[in-house]
Chain A
Amino acid sequence: MNQYAEAFEAFNRHAESGWLKSQRIAAFARFEHLGFPINGVEAWKYTNTKALAKRPFVLAEGYDLQAAQKLLNEAAVTLDSHQLVFVNGIFVPELSDLSSLPQALVVEPLSEALDKELELTCGMMGRLAGIDSDVFTALNFAFAGEGAVIRVGNNQVIDKPINLIHLSTASDQPQMSHPRILIAAGSSSQLQLVEQFVGDDEAVHFTNRVAEVVLERNAQLTHYLLETPGDQSWLIGRTQVEQQRDSRYGCHHMNLGGKLVRDDLVCDLNGKGASSHFSGLLFGRNKQHLDIHSLVHHNAPQTYSHENYKAILNDKAKGVFNGKVVVKKDSQQIQADQSNANLLLSDQAEIDTKPELEIYADDVKCSHGATTGQLDETALFYLKSRGLSDELARGLLTLAFANEVIDELKLAPLYKRVEESVAGHLPHQVDLEEL
């Protein structure tokens, strides 16, 4: 804790007094009060943060542009987009590209937004993920200073996706970053957002990101999350979404490994006709620990949610899935379904899954299913009878299992990267070129 206190002292000293400064102090007090969730916290039952709590991290003061450029080129997905790049939590204008922003779209780093439009930005901050939520959100708020602000005007359809890239490169001392992403989509607007966490395997980094998303009436946001923070890095992310009438939110979550990756996705369906659609893949190897917690609140009648998560775990990887649907009293005519399918490729791998329903209205159709099993023997036999080797047949079927969720990545470069990454890391690699 001490290391955080020191870092916080140094960080907040330079801040101008005012709302943000006092909020940060309150947030840090909250963080100190709660402490890391080590014992007996239900939401962290299967995920151990002891090693994280012990590790001292510092805030990055600078970065190596060359190393960043290299990592960006090699490991991140670049596409025709409005692009913001952060290295170890610091905004890098050289690698970013905001040259073709249309008028009704604002995309800027949080630090800039705080300089230019302090009041407006502070108004967006902490509205959904304030200091009174969980410990990591409080910690993020205490160090809130960088991140991204995205605002779309009413009735705007933005063709080009927005690409937020968080890079972490190796450094002398383990570093941390606390990006905060603020998104406001005006009524009937449409937007695609790609968020990538890309880490050097040598880097020891702790990313603690919080996103707050507000979708006005009939707004549509498709959110792609690609997570490969690096073998020695922690990534803890919270996405908090508020949806008004008829708005649609789609979140496609590709969690492809890291030392420990934990995501909390919370969606409040506050207006009639609002719907959310989550799909995701947990793909773990070695001793990786991947955890996803989703929570949907049906706060209004005629709201819909759909979830489909898959996990493929090899070696000693551990996966955690916790999906929860809460239907509030008087929220009638709800449809909610949740599916979680898991494939364990090794006897040392483990999956802990808990799909929950909490329902206080009667005119609802809610269901969930969770399965853990193996590849279909008959399908394997069929492929082998066609002359495929056992390895290739297994590889193909595993890939097909993942494909149901990968297929929902509608941006081609992203799709290609994920598919290649999964194919290349299977116990029996599948060479997609060859097929």
Chain B
Amino acid sequence: MASEEMEQLVRKEYKQGFVTDIESDTLPPGLDEDVIRHISARKNEPDWLLEWRLEAYRHWLTMKDPQAWAHLSYPEIDFQAVSYYSAPGAKNKDAPKSLDEVDPKLLETFDKLGIPLHERAALAGVAVDAVFDSVSVGTTFKDKLAEAGVIFCSISEAVQEHPELVKAYLGTVVPHTDNYYAALNSAVFTDGSFVFVPKGVTCPMELSTYFRINAANTGQFERTLIVCEEEAQVSYLEGCTAPMRDENQLHAAVVELVALDDAYIKYSTVQNWYPGDEEGKGGIYNFVTKRGDCRGDRSKISWTQVETGSAITWKYPSCILRGKDSVGEFYSVAVTNNFQQADTGTKMIHLGEGSRSTIISKGISAGRSNQSYRGLVKVLPSAKNARNFTQCDSLLLGDQCGAHTFPYQEIGNSSTQVEHEATTSKIGEDQLFYCMQRGISEEDSVNMIVNGFCKDVFKELPMEFAVEAEALLNVTLEGAVG
């Protein structure tokens, strides 16, 4: 197909790009120890956490930006031009005690985004924690979850209410020394979700966090910690959007998952940060460290992600398969358009005997975007009979985009079976012809083929998310055909 038509087809509109006009308490841009002390004080944090933050900050100062190895290019980020804390609401006002006290403008924002915070509206039975800039504005269904013994709240709240749990697990999966952005996050993280599922409990409903960046010139640094004790199970969803702005905004999150014996954590993300305009102006820089630790035997962690947003995505949800017969999964669909860049993939570190992992990654590049799959499968000598299967396919829409694959395999064990396969191609003329000669329009044909290409991943998403993801994909590729 001609590239003009293709361009027509891949043009899309970002529907979540509005700004909420709300008073906010925002720290002036800049980063030093005082800013960290200030954040910590605002959140009324215990001393050990402040010390932990400062240690991370001091370490961060000694580190270098990872741009050197990633297949990305962006101007150097001025960390002093970013504001590290922004909370909706006027200064010196007490935090709302319940959803009824939350500023209606905020609730409206989330309503507009399709995230019902009022419990009565949440017919889907999904408990939601909504994070607006640097703070959590409300968590639904807390009582019902508490009955089951599940703790689901913002991490700031968890620091206050369950300090022993936070202290025991925070930073044990992603230490502050891990990488540049993890160190930065550890120093300045503001909010995020905390989930604790005690032994033997299956969480009665899906948990969900919705992240929204609103204020200008701020960065969002959220930290999520999910712990599943023995035989516990939870399914967690994450969504994110931001307004359209000409400047690039920084989002550097850390997500830590801990699964003990026989626990199962399913973590799904639909990432739809503002990707920048057609000229590549603006958009979110998404530098995220996500890692799950399968500490217990037979534990399982599953990552599913649909990445359509962000100007730059740098993200590698990983699993450390420590437990015997533990299982790690990674399912990903990444779509890039215009000038978006994505360097994403996963790491599966096999330590436990009989550990298994599956990686399915589907990349779709359009416009002038560049996308890379970067993955590591590492099997240590201790991981006898480990098994990995990796498939990463790329689909190219248009002749100006790029698709790249960098899979690392480090195998140190003779009883291991590791398979990797990857393909890169465009939508086949024959596939398109077949659909169209059955009377399906070109656009619908492309959507069908693209959706089919992503099916292996979409079927792993919780139902409501799968519908959203498919719709998102159609919007993203609106009018585009191969």
Contact = CB atoms under 8 A, between A and B. Distances in A.
Interface of A: 42, 46, 329-330, 332, 342, 344-374
A362 B69 contact: no
Contacts of B418: 370-373
A367 B414 contact: no
Contacts of A352: 408-411
Which of A46, A349, A357, A369 has the most chain B CB atoms closer than 10 A to its own CB?
A357
Nearest to B391: A369
A366 B421 CA distance: 11
A66 to B, nearest CB: 43
Contacts of A347: 381, 412-415
Given A351-B409, A374-B415, 15 more contacts: A344-B414, A347-B412, A352-B411, A354-B409, A356-B405, A358-B404, A360-B402, A362-B397, A364-B424, A364-B426, A366-B424, A367-B422, A369-B419, A369-B422, A372-B418
Interface residues of B, number: 35
Contacts of A346: 414
A143 B184 CA distance: 48
B425 A364 contact: yes
A188 to B, nearest CB: 33
B403 interface: yes
Closest 3 pairs between A and B when the two form their complex, measured CB to CB: A362-B396, A344-B414, A350-B412
Interface of B: 69, 71, 381, 394, 396-426
Contacts of B409: 351-354, 370, 372
Contacts of B422: 355, 357, 367-369
B420 to A, nearest CB: 4
B417 A374 contact: yes
A355 B396 contact: no
B402 A354 contact: no
Given A357-B405, A359-B403, A362-B401, A344 B420 contact: no
Contact of A370 (B401, B407, B424): B407
Contacts of B400: 329
A352 B420 CA distance: 13
Given A364-B425, A366-B424, A368-B405, A350 B410 contact: yes
B64 to A, nearest CB: 11
A285 to B, nearest CB: 14
Contacts of B425: 364-366
Given A355-B422, A357-B422, A372 B411 contact: yes
Contacts of B426: 362-364
A354 B411 contact: no
A370 B388 CA distance: 11
B396 A364 contact: yes
Nearest to B395: A362
Contacts of B416: 344, 372-373
A349 B424 contact: no
Contacts of A46: 410
Contacts of B415: 347, 374
B406 A356 contact: yes
B364 to A, nearest CB: 12
A35 B162 CA distance: 53
